[in-house]
Amino acid sequence: MTQAEFVVVANRLPVDNAGPGEGEDGWRRSPGGLVTALEPVMKQTDGAWVGWPGQADLDVEPFDFDGTRLIPVALSADEIEKYYEGFSNDTIWPLYHDVIAAPRYRRVWWDAYVRVNRRFAEAAADAVAEGGTVWVQDYQLQLVPKMLREMRPDLTIGYFHHIPFPAYGLYSQLPWRRLVLEGLLGADVIGFQRVADAGNFARAVRRLFRYETRAGRITVPGDDGTAHIALAKAFPISIAAETYIELAKKPEVQARAREIREGLGNPKAILLGVDRLDYTKGIRHRLKAFGELLEDGRVAVDDVTLVQVASPSRERVEAYVQLRDEIELTVARINGDHDTFGHSAIRYLHQGYPREEMVALFLAADVMLVTALRDGMNLVAKEYVATRADNRGVLVLSEFAGAADELGSALKVNPHDIDTLKDTIIQAIEMPEAEQSRRMRSMRKRVIEHDVKAWSASFLSALDEARTAKENRTR
Ligand code: GDG
């Protein structure tokens, strides 16, 4: 097998198996943001991508897809349960999102996590050429950087963490807290969404290892008396802004936006929430605030509709089953109390939609509600902003989402403060057009200038610098 200069390692491959007959050999590109972000890099560099093909026990040989070499890592049903649903999504996810839900610490899950991380590391080590670069993605694979460094000291290794990194007081709960940090410190560059995440990480390293850290540069001693520098720094991720701008220009998408408004009975204001159905997204807080506004008579069901898209997610993890029940009970109660024959208070959709439909929804919405209790970045906020080339619409944005660091002209909220959230929703509904336009312009400038291409370019250039520094030191 020829080896690639550049290899991405992520939990999932960038393709879905659509079954025989559909697409090129049954595979089709999955719509994720990471895929779009890395597409240009993969094409330029003749890269390879290591990841799970998305189905239990699916064992397929490496294959080429759209100019990229894809290297599937097979997972058994038992491994998916313990490594993915268990340790990744029921231990790390809640812990790193400030224990909004209680993390479960199970030793058999940890054992599976180590085993599966090793398999990903081995697959990457086989795939990458001498002196090449590997970019590891996200919290499912925190041990891979160190494993790879041990197998292949010649490599330059990057890691990007898509979710928050918690304060030490919470992180220290993790029974395997030293091993996870050691895993991450195997990388030359460790990227985070926010400056605060990189700070929390560096503080945890100081507390647990007492390594020297200076301006994000951490000196990590190796077993053989040598040391390497790991750079822990914020690289806020973004979106392919151009794609959203182009879609928003299409007459059929604009027509669809009008159709959506009409379908809702042409209310004066449409409020919109778009989230994976996840307890980190603050969907309940949003529903509570809206329900109370109706109850108080501050909004009327004929005038204002809340559209909530909650796309199905992690449906085999207990906390998500419970959350869905709670949300659906709340929606039904609010609608039961307030609906009329002609108007619904909340239009709730537990479905996924094509991107065109999402853009039409963004265009139809007067107010976008992003009320996450904790969120690495929140791409939906940026997508809404990119879509609104008409400079209309208001973004209500939680200060606990990474996007809040960049989108200073959004209406910021603390979603736990229901009274202020209610006032902010009213402020958004009533905002004069001139003010909408001023705020939207400044947010759009930011998102367009710092799009996802700029994100990957800046991460890769930090990796290049790390490589050069390493070469200089060995010389
Ligand atoms: C993690 C971090 C960080 C959602 N429903 C549909 C749909 N989506 C798309 C959105 C957006 C993406 O999924 C969700 O991204 P978010 O950033 O909002 O949230 P997570 O899924 O939690 O992502 C997060 C991100 O990684 C990147 O680093 O920002 O903080 O938690 O693009 O539009 N897309 C379509 N149909 C749907 O029904 N087509």
Question: Would you list the DSSP string of 454-470?
Answer: HHHHHHHHHHHHHHHHH
**What per-residue confidence (pLDDT) applies to 224?**
80
For residue 37, the model assigns a pLDDT of 74
Q: Is the pTM of this model over 0.75?
A: yes
CA of 199 to the centre of ligand 1 (A): 24
Residues 361 and 387: beta-carbon distance below 8 Å: no
With the most atoms of ligand 1 within 8 angstroms of its CB, the residue from 309, 320, 379, 384 to mutate is 379
Rounded CA-CA distance 133/113 in Å is 23
Instruction: Name the closest-CA residue to atom 26, ligand 1.
Output: 162
Phi, psi of 118 (to 5 degrees): -65, -40
Residue 472, pLDDT score: 86
Distance 275 CA to ligand 1 centre (A): 7
Q: Give the integer Cα–Cα distance in Å for 5 and 322.
A: 45
The residue ranges of the chain whose pLDDT is under 50 are: none
CA distance 256 to 150: 54
Q: Is 118 in the pocket of ligand 1 (CB under 6 A)?
A: no
| Residue 297 CA to ligand 1 centre (angstroms) | 33
The confidence score (pLDDT) of residue 16 equals 87
User: Is the shortest distance between the CB of 197 and ligand 1 below 6 Å?
Assistant: no
How many whole angstroms from 340 Cα to the centroid of ligand 1? 33
Ligand 1 center–CA 33 separation, angstroms: 8
The DSSP 8-state label assigned to residue 277 in this structure reads: S
C-alpha–C-alpha distance, residues 271 and 411, integer Å: 14
Residue 21: the pLDDT is 55
Check pocket membership of 350 for ligand 1, CB cut-off 6 A. Answer: no
- Predicted pLDDT of residue 67: 84
Type and span of the H or E element at 60: none
